[in-house]
Structure 1
Amino acid sequence: MSTTADGTQRESVATWLAESLNTPGNAHRQWAQTTVAGLALGRRFAAVRLADQLVCAVAVRAPAMTTPSAVLGALGGPVIHAPHSRRFYALVPASPPGHVLGPHAEYLGLGCFLGVPRVGDDQPDELASYWFVPMARPGALCDPIRVLDLVETGTAVLSKMAEA
């Protein structure tokens, strides 16, 4: 894909994300000023907050997925990493799961806001949030079934480790 096409795609994704707010221009201003915009969850998309240890537990257990990159890449959609809080945020469709996700994951929907990095900010930083798995196109979100599988697998591994 050419640089122009890449730029157009990034702008399309940024516009789609910004439209989670009643005033999308606010998101664009925040990205320009601070590199992170507070976006509303629950209407256009939601997020599942995942503890770093949950993701690492799955990576240790699954031979085919030996790194957090492989584990999170298998979710089929965008993931934000917030290294300062040691959390990942998988962006998912705005439909809450039917049950509590457990001690290492939480569904964030209507009434919540998420600090979303500028589209294109995908380089790790010690403090700033970045796109661990970038959004491929507007509306391309993680598969909620895969996210739930990750949560259940990671929780089981962490429970076994705690018992040992």
Structure 2
Amino acid sequence: MKTTVADWLAHSQRAPEQARREWADTGVALLPLGHRFEAARLPERLVLAAMCTTDRKQLPALLGRALNGPVIYDNRTMGGTYYALMRPRADRAWTHQAVAPRLGASDYLVVPRLDRKEPPGTHWTVLPRFEGDLCEPETVTALIAYGLSVSQGAQQ
């Protein structure tokens, strides 16, 4: 496990040792959002449309280039969901809340241990590269808007 990145993530909790214990015991930790980072919940169909692919094996490279920040994948609920970790932006409205909700203060996210890069279970699609490595909200918004335009174009 990358110590500095893992420590940075763990310190999103008031008791970072709890996150470390959860990672050791179960491979995932439940972390509070809003202070260090937020997350955009991106439905898998939207991400596939935005990346113009149905090949999930291409997504780590494509999302890494498109978002330039960490992304978690969870296939346990809602038919597959990506979570783009973003800089907190409480001061700005989120225009895609109905399609790709922004999760922040008062929300929690299941965050995998840094060595969980493949299924089964919740895992990293794009790993954080350093402390504070996060997607820019504007970049995530652009990906959502493009995915929606591709999806709407395919429906016509």
What TM-score, normalized to structure 2? 0.88
User: Which residue of the partner structure matches residue 68 of structure 1?
Assistant: 59
Choose from 18, 28, 33 the match for 1:36: 28
Gaps of 5+ in 2: none
Letter in 2 for 1:159: Q
Instruction: Choose 101-110 or 73-82, whichever is displaced more.
Output: 101-110
Q: Which residue of 1 aligns with 2:130?
A: 137
Q: Shift in Å at residue 113 of structure 1?
A: 0.3
Aligned residues of 1:38 and 1:114 also touching (Cα < 8 A) = yes
- Larger RCO (CA within 8 A; separation ≥ 6): 2
Structure 1 position 102, deviation (Å):
4.8
Runs of 4+ in structure 1 off by over 4 angstroms are none
Q: Which amino acid aligns with 2:86?
A: V
Per the alignment, residue 160 of structure 1 pairs with: 153
Q: Within 2, Cα distance between the matches of 1:99 and 1:35?
A: 31
Larger displacement relative to structure 2 (17-26 or 69-78)? 69-78
**Equivalence for 2:9:** 17
Q: Which residue of 2 aligns with 1:3?
A: none
Structure of greater Rg: 1
Pairwise CA RMSD of aligned residues? 1.8
Question: 1:77-156 alignment to 2 at 5 Å?
Answer: 77-85=69-77, 86-96=80-90, 97-122=92-117, 124-126=118-120, 128-156=121-149
- Does the Cα contact within 8 Å between 2:40 and 2:84 map onto a contact in 1? yes
The amino acid of 1:125's aligned partner reads: P
Amino acid at match of 1:48: A
